[in-house]
């Protein structure tokens, strides 16, 4: 078939002399694509038509004898349209680096006044030794040249029909000029004296200040960077020479400062790369015709090229038909492919140990040599892998690797019935051959496992592999392939096939590496989906058994509580341990940077920032010096008592036996967690985790924490009303409730009636209360049978409030304040409610403002109220952070969190 399929699909651009063989392309069916035709080696204008096929091209049989066009005829290149512009991660990185540099200049100008002044004085003294006429002449010439050179380069680009780059440069220059004006205005009107002194100077006696940013140098630098002059050495050297001369003469003449020059260069550089990343850079990726021309230079005779889906890592692949030779698979690697996935690779390198993540090559030559080396080594090892026949560079921005074509489909494209034990055995034999030569594949996912037309298995996509790999990398390969096969065929067949080729002990050696963090990103996603589907199926089966009255709901919950029962990796371990019971299963530590490490860093940074922000207008030494240490020590004791009370409040609502000491440590650890979570969220999550680690099933743990929170809410409201009643009647012997309490009760009653009367609001409230009550009420019924537990729980809740109120009251007395215990309780309970409602870590800001305002409204002087609240928060929030971090780390080491 020479072109019939293309005509039926509507590829009307094909001429009568064009041969378009219908072929599936390498290892899979291509997506919707465009057909581009033109002379074999000429850069003639291309005609493009978009085509979408209704079925995969893999269903078409390959034509082993395509028509060979005569000399001078056209060839076909079947590929998707390339994007006109691309957003390069390298541009974003340079933009961020420049932005940090600009910030550093302002920080340096603000804190290093003596240094900057000294440098300016030295330059002023040195300038007196330079002849004035020389400075004037050089300044005039450089000022003219710094504008002439960019214009000349723009003319040269326009002559060569590269107007897009010129337009990018002009846009960057305009933005740089506007930003320069904004910075000039800010420095003159709003910046600190230190910044203004470091970035400006008086040009002459009686004159005004110089500009912090040069009005023409910053746009010129932005223009030359955005237009791509860096890739043209002669133009780059010429322009930087005149920029340096212009800036130097300005500095010697006293019209600028050193930091101003640095700021100008960084600003132009930053704006240029920010512009390029925002609008995208012109796409310089080689087209299919460039590929065909490169193939001819290395001795091939291509007739047509069909673009296939990109390989892992972003490499472009083409299926190429030759006139008088075997078909070829051609991999194209270019700078865009090198940049793709940069941030994910960077995160993996930071997260995992270096032995677990192969570093990406930094150059095209390095990428070409690495893939070629892996391909030749794989062929020499005896593994079934594509045979590399040639390599070549396509100019400075791309390179190609040419393989003999292998017809087949990847594991991802196979139906389940074709994923046979024989196919898995073939693939394991190839992996064994690689490992025997210390070669690691590192990408043993479904898209790298090919089933050829004769039914055998073949490994593809070896470009990410390693030569002379260590044991860890080889064992990771085994763990990855075990998981890949288990996702398709189940753990039993996957483990049996691996053991049949590698042997049980070699398979068992991979168990410590069988953890999600060591698997590929696509495998982790499939693993989560598989486990989620299994849990959903198990839940449906359990609900059906409950409906049939075969088991009770409690028994069903107990069966489903152990989530590892449905975890695929756990089932793989079980299969391996049946063969090798003594196999090591303790996981190897692959992570260098764990989430909890990030939490610690973020929490510590936030704590320091917020603490210094809170103390910005306070002198702690003077403040603490004014305190009465007797009352202050009492406040410390009340703060310590609150952790014991919190542990009582938690353990009292858990029928299971818990370690009270560890429960207290968990409450201290909650002081650290509050730094990175809202006040009402962090403690709940930590307590639930603590109970689960203590052996309480997840459903019961959540119910116990919910019961504790519900009891705390009820006690909070009741105590607020009780103390409000007492505080409102302290000045009189009349026992009638105060008007404020009555008004509050009536308001709450009215709100309840309104919510109950409006169906949408009633349904909204019940939808949120039902899950809580569903778990909490049965838990409370269990606790009714143990009165001692209820006494402990409710007693701890009340004691917790009393401890906090006592701490606040004693803190107030430490600074000479006087307020009744009942009034202090009302202020605390109201302020704590406000703080819990505001979603800031630990209620920072909201609690301080509410408590200070409440004490002031109760008649305490404002300075005394502020000092008391600051001491109270210091004892109950800030000082426990470091012990909380220690308790958090200790409980994690003990597997209690």
pLDDT digits (tens, 9 = 90+) for 385-431: 999 999 888 866 788 899 998 888 999 989 988 899 999 999 999 99
Q: Is the pLDDT of residue 860 over 90?
A: no
Between 41 and 803, name the one with better pLDDT.
803
* Confidence category of residue 22, pLDDT binned at 50, 70, 90: very low
* Confidence category of residue 810, pLDDT binned at 50, 70, 90: very high
Tell me the mean pLDDT in the region 741-750: 55
Between 277 and 165, name the one with better pLDDT.
277
Tell me the mean pLDDT in the region 782-793: 76
- DSSP state, 209? B
In this prediction, what percent of the chain has a pLDDT beyond 70? Answer: 66
* Whether 303 contacts 68, CB under 8 Å: yes
| CA distances (Å), origin 866, targets 610, 621, 848 | 16, 15, 8
What pLDDT, in 10s, does the model give residues 650-672? 888 888 888 899 999 999 988 88
User: Which range, 355-369, 477-491, 854-868, is most confident?
Assistant: 477-491
What pLDDT, in 10s, does the model give residues 699-742? 777 778 877 877 887 887 888 778 877 776 655 444 344 454 45
222, 211, 214, 210: which is closest to 274 by C-alpha?
222
* Confidence category of residue 270, pLDDT binned at 50, 70, 90: very high
Q: Label residue 10 left, alpha or beta by phi (over 0 means left) and psi (-120 to 50 means alpha).
A: left
Beta-ladder partners of 458: 450
Q: Is the pLDDT of residue 678 over 70?
A: no
Tell me the mean pLDDT in the region 773-794: 70
Between 394 and 477, name the one with better pLDDT.
477
What pLDDT, in 10s, does the model give residues 213-246? 877 788 888 888 888 766 566 776 777 777 777 7
> Mean pLDDT of all residues in the chain?
74
Judging by beta carbons within 10 Å of its beta carbon (0-12, 13-18, 19+), is residue 816 exposed, middle or buried? Answer: middle
Between 576 and 117, name the one with better pLDDT.
576
Q: Is the pLDDT of residue 72 over 50?
A: no
C-alpha to C-alpha distance for 373 and 464, rounded to whole angstroms: 11
Tell me the mean pLDDT in the region 118-147: 60
Q: What is the pLDDT of residue 210?
A: 77
> In degrees rounded to 5, what are phi and psi of residue 38?
180, 175
C-alpha to C-alpha distance for 831 and 856, rounded to whole angstroms: 12
Residues contacting residue 70 through CB under 8 Å, at least 6 positions apart: 17
Q: Is the pLDDT of residue 347 over 60?
A: yes
Q: What is the pLDDT of residue 243?
A: 76
| CA distances (Å), origin 555, targets 8, 549, 559, 707, 787 | 62, 11, 6, 22, 26
- DSSP state, 677? S
Q: What is the pLDDT of residue 325?
A: 79
Q: What is the pLDDT of residue 445?
A: 92
Q: What is the pLDDT of residue 551?
A: 76
């Amino acid at each position: 078939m020479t072109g019939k399929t293309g005509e039926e699909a509507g590829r009307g651009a094909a001429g009568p002399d064009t041969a378009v063989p219908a072929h599936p392309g390498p290892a899979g069916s291509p997506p919707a694509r465009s057909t581009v035709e033109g002379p074999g080696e000429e850069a003639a204008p291309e005609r493009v038509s978009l085509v979408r096929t209704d079925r995969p091209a893999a269903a078409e049989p390959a034509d082993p004898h395509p028509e060979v066009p005569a000399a001078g005829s056209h060839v076909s290149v079947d590929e998707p349209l390339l994007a006109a512009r691309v957003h390069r991660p390298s541009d974003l990185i340079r933009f961020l680096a420049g932005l940090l540099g600009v910030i550093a200049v302002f920080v340096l100008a603000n804190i290093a006044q003596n240094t900057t002044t000294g440098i300016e004085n030295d330059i002023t003294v040195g300038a007196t030794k330079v002849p004035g006429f020389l400075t004037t002449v050089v300044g005039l010439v450089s000022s003219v040249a710094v504008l002439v050179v960019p214009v000349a380069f723009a003319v040269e680009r326009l002559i060569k029909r590269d107007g897009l780059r010129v337009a990018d440069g002009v846009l960057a220059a305009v933005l740089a000029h506007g930003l320069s004006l904004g910075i000039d205005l800010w420095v003159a009107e709003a910046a600190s004296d230190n910044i203004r002194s470091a970035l400006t100077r008086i040009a002459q006696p009686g004159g005004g200040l110089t500009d912090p940013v040069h009005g023409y140098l910053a746009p010129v630098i932005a223009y030359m960077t955005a237009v791509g002059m860096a890739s043209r050495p002669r133009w780059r050297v010429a322009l930087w020479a005149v920029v340096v001369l212009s800036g130097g003469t300005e500095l010697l003449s006293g019209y600028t400062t050193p930091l101003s020059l640095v700021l100008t260069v960084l600003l132009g550089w930053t704006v240029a790369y920010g512009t390029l990343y925002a609008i995208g850079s012109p796409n310089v990726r080689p087209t299919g015709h460039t590929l065909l021309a490169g193939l001819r230079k290395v001795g091939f005779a291509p007739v047509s090229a069909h673009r296939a889906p990109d390989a892992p890592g972003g490499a472009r692949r083409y299926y190429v038909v030759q006139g008088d030779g075997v078909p070829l698979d051609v991999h194209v690697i270019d700078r865009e492919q090198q940049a793709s996935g940069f941030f994910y690779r960077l995160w993996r390198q930071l997260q995992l140990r270096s032995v677990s993540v192969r570093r990406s090559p930094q150059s095209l030559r390095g990428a070409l040599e690495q893939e070629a080396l892996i391909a030749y080594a794989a062929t020499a090892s005896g593994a079934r892998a594509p045979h590399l026949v040639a390599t070549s560079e396509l100019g400075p921005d791309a390179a190609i690797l040419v393989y003999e074509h292998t017809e087949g489909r990847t594991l991802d494209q196979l139906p389940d019935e074709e994923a046979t034990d024989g196919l898995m055995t073939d693939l394991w034999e190839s992996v064994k051959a690689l490992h025997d030569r210390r070669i690691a594949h590192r990408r043993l996912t479904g898209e790298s496992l090919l089933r050829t037309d004769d039914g055998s298995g073949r490994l593809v996509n070896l470009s990410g592999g390693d030569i002379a790999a260590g044991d860890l990398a080889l064992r990771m390969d085994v763990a990855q392939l075990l998981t890949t096969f288990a996702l398709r065929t189940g753990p039993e067949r996957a483990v049996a096939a691996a053991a049949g080729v590698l042997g049980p002990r070699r398979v068992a050696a991979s168990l410590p590496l069988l953890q999600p963090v060591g698997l590929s990103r696509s495998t982790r996603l499939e693993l989560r989906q598989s486990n989620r589907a299994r849990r959903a199926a198990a839940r449906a089966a359990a609900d059906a058994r409950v409906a049939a009255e075969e088991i009770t709901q409690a028994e069903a919950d107990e069966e489903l509580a152990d989530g590892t029962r449905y975890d695929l990796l756990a089932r793989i371990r079980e299969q391996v341990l049946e063969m090798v019971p003594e196999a090591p299963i303790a996981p190897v530590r692959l992570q260098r940077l764990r989430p909890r490490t990030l939490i610690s860093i973020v929490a510590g940074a936030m704590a320091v920032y917020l603490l210094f922000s809170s103390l910005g207008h306070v002198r702690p030494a003077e403040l603490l010096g004014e305190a009465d240490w007797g009352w202050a020590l009492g406040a410390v004791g009340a703060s310590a008592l609150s952790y014991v009370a919190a542990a009582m409040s938690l353990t009292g609502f858990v029928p299971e036996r818990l370690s009270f000491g560890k429960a207290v440590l968990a409450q201290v650890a909650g002081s650290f967690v509050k730094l990175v979570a809202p006040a009402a969220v962090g403690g709940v999550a930590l307590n639930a985790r603590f109970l689960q680690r203590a052996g309480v099933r997840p459903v019961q743990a959540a119910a116990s924490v919910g019961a504790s929170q519900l009891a705390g809410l009820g006690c909070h409201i009741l105590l607020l009303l009780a103390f409000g009643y007492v505080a409102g009647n302290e000045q009189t012997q009349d026992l009638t409730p105060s008007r404020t309490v009555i008004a509050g009760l009536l308001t709450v009653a009215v709100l309840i009636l309104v919510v109950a009367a409006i169906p949408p609001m009633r349904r909204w409230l019940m939808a949120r209360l039902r899950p809580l009550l569903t778990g909490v009420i049965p838990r409370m019924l269990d606790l009714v049978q143990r009165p001692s537990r209820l006494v402990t729980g409710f007693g701890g809740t009340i004691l917790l409030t009393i401890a906090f109120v006592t701490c606040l009251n004693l803190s107030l007395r430490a600074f000479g304040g006087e307020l009744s215990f009942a009034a202090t309780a009302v202020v605390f309970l109201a302020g704590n409610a406000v703080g819990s409602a505001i979603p800031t870590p630990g209620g920072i800001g909201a609690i301080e403002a509410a408590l200070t305002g409440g004490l002031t409204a109760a008649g305490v002087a404002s300075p005394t109220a502020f000092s008391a609240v600051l001491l109270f928060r210091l004892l109950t929030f800030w000082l426990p952070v470091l012990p909380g971090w220690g308790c958090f780390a200790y409980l994690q080491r003990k597997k209690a969190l």
